[in-house]
């Protein structure tokens, strides 16, 4: 479904739903991600598991948006000895039927944040807020075609990529329906709604992108979007994504996102405009209902501290008289204390 550059093609096979043999790159990452939002209860969550087998650990994240603006969250780097499965730190992703049915489970602890902004200081957030048992059980069903895959040469051989500048050599996404439950402490939430999942594999550093805006949106089973703007450190923007309508994807050719901000440069609202290959245009208004700021830090080869901020906002969207739910995920490198994409 995605468009390949000249001399290349995009390949996606059912076996890509399972884990791959890692590249030799030290920063090889294979990750799966799922989100879902219940439009009736206005709650939801997202889940990510990223295997970094050459570094001996995975990255595991659980984020649940609960009633009254609370967020239940946890993050870990559980040890792994290989890349045989997506199962670490109490989280497990199972492929029941490739491209059609998958299952997400988690059993462990979460911190419950009455003020999700506390996560700007993670050590203090975990210390000052209650930590409770959590269980997640969700069954996912694909409601769309597949979008994306691995970009390879015309003869099927892999591309030559620089691991230091890579975010992923392969990536695909799909709109989903989801049903199941969250249990947080003594509270149980039966949930049913819609979401989006993605998978990627290949070398990854979070600092390989200057800033991006990623809007996965669902208005129901037959209408959804994924809007993406990715910017490199030279300021070059790449627009992408797709509109799901009546079971088919209409690729986005051009988009813009204008955001409203608070004093911390966290997004509070947005207006997105989209043009597609078929000539359709859409205007989407978003209101952030609950937001948690996350970060990723590492030092480069020169010892310079690199700081990436990712703000994850559960967002209520309106388009063509319909109301839907999803995320507004904003990634920025932080320079001189300010996100580089602020104002965009």
Q: Is residue 11 part of a domain?
A: no
- Does residue 196 share a domain with residue 80? yes
* SS3 label, residue 278: coil
Residue 79 carries which DSSP code? B
Looking at per-residue pLDDT, the higher value among 27 and 101 belongs to 101
Token match 């939801």: residue?
44
pLDDT at 96 over 50: yes
Looking at per-residue pLDDT, the higher value among 4 and 213 belongs to 213
pLDDT bin (cut points 50, 70, 90) of residue 338 is confident
3-state SS, 100-158, equals CEEEEEEEEEEEEECCHHHHHCHHHHHHHCCEEEEEEEEEEEECCCCEEEEEEECCCCE
* pLDDT value of position 6: 64
CATH of the domain at 96: 2.40.370.10
Q: What is the pTM assigned to this prediction?
A: 0.92
Looking at per-residue pLDDT, the higher value among 150 and 4 belongs to 150
* pLDDT value of position 334: 85
Question: What is the pLDDT averaged over residues 332-336?
Answer: 87
Cα 75 from Cα 54, distance rounded (Å): 20
CB neighbour burial string for 123-149, b if at least 16 within 10 angstroms, e if fewer: eebbeebeeeebebebbbebbbebbbb
- Does residue 144 share a domain with residue 244? no
Q: Is residue 227 part of a domain?
A: yes
* pLDDT tens digits, one per residue of 127-153: 999 999 999 999 999 999 999 998 877
Q: Is residue 16 part of a domain?
A: no
Q: Is residue 164 part of a domain?
A: no
Looking at per-residue pLDDT, the higher value among 259 and 5 belongs to 259
* pLDDT tens digits, one per residue of 186-217: 999 999 999 999 999 987 565 567 899 999 99
* pLDDT tens digits, one per residue of 148-175: 998 877 666 665 654 444 445 789 999 9
Q: What is the DSSP string of 323-336?
A: EEEEEEEEEEEEET
Question: What is the pLDDT averaged over residues 65-82?
Answer: 96
- Does residue 312 share a domain with residue 197? no
* pLDDT value of position 161: 53
Q: Is residue 70 part of a domain?
A: yes
Q: Is residue 7 part of a domain?
A: no
End-to-end CA distance of the chain: 28
Cα 68 from Cα 71, distance rounded (Å): 9
Separation of CA 341 from chain center:
18
- Does residue 215 share a domain with residue 104? no
* pLDDT value of position 163: 44
pLDDT at 1 over 70: no
* pLDDT value of position 167: 45
Domain that residue 62 falls in: 24-148+170-203
pLDDT at 5 over 70: no
Two tokens, residue 51? 């295997």
- Does residue 225 share a domain with residue 124? no
* pLDDT value of position 137: 98
pLDDT at 297 over 60: yes
Q: Is residue 1 part of a domain?
A: no
* SS3 label, residue 81: coil
pLDDT bin (cut points 50, 70, 90) of residue 276 is very high
- The helix, strand and coil proportions of the chain, stated in percent and rounded to the nearest 5, come to 5, 60, 30
- Does residue 335 share a domain with residue 282? yes
CATH of the domain at 263: 2.40.370
Cα 259 from Cα 267, distance rounded (Å): 6
- Does residue 127 share a domain with residue 193? yes
- Does residue 63 share a domain with residue 190? yes
* pLDDT value of position 209: 79
Q: What are phi and psi of 122, to 5 degrees?
A: -60, -40
Considering its fold, how many domains does the chain have in total? 2
- Does residue 230 share a domain with residue 198? no
Cα 91 from Cα 291, distance rounded (Å): 23
Looking at per-residue pLDDT, the higher value among 205 and 20 belongs to 20
Domain boundary among 157, 181, 203: 203
Cα 73 from Cα 276, distance rounded (Å): 36
- Does residue 340 share a domain with residue 255? yes
Question: What is the pLDDT averaged over residues 98-125?
Answer: 97
- Does residue 214 share a domain with residue 197? no
Q: Is residue 123 part of a domain?
A: yes
Q: In this structure, are residues 243 and 252 in contact, taking their beta carbons and an 8 Å threshold?
A: yes
Q: In this structure, are residues 174 and 194 in contact, taking their beta carbons and an 8 Å threshold?
A: no
- Does residue 250 share a domain with residue 121? no
* SS3 label, residue 96: strand
* pLDDT value of position 38: 98
pLDDT at 303 over 70: no
Q: Which residues pair with 174 in a beta bridge?
A: 197
Task: Show the CA angle centred on residue 50, arms to residues 206 and 248, nearest 5°.
Answer: 90
């Amino acid at each position: 479904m995605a468009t390949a550059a000249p001399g290349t093609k995009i390949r996606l096979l059912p076996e890509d739903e399972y884990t791959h043999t890692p590249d030799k790159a030290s920063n090889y990452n294979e990750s799966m991600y799922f989100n879902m939002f219940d439009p009736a209860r206005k709650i939801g969550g997202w889940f990510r598991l990223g295997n970094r087998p050459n570094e001996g650990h995975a990255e595991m994240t659980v984020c649940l948006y609960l009633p009254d603006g609370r967020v239940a969250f946890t993050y870990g780097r559980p040890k792994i000895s290989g890349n045989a499965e997506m199962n670490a730190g109490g989280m497990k992703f199972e492929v029941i039927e490739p491209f059609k049915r998958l299952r997400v489970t988690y059993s462990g602890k979460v911190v419950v944040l009455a003020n999700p902004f506390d996560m700007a200081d993670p050590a203090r957030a975990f210390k000052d807020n209650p930590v409770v048992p959590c269980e997640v059980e969700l069954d996912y069903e694909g409601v769309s075609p597949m979008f994306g895959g691995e970009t390879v040469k015309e003869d099927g051989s892999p591309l030559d990529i620089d691991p230091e500048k890579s975010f992923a050599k392969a990536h695909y996404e799909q709109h989903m329906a989801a049903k199941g439950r969250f249990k947080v402490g003594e509270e149980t939430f039966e949930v049913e709604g819609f979401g989006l999942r993605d998978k990627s594999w290949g070398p990854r550093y979070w600092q390989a992108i200057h800033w991006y805006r990623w809007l996965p949106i669902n208005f129901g089973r037959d209408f959804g979007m994924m809007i993406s703007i990715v910017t490199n450190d030279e300021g070059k923007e790449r627009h992408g994504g797709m509109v799901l309508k009546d079971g088919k994807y209409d690729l986005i050719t051009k988009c813009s996102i204008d955001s409203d901000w608070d004093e911390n440069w966290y997004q509070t609202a947005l207006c997105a405009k989209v043009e597609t290959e078929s000539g359709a245009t859409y205007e989407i208004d978003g209101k952030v209902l609950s937001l948690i700021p996350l970060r990723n830090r590492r030092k480069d080869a020169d010892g310079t501290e690199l700081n990436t901020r990712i703000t994850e906002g559960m967002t209520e969207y309106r388009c063509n008289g319909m109301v839907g739910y999803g995320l507004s995920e904003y990634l920025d490198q932080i320079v001189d204390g300010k996100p580089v994409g602020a104002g965009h």
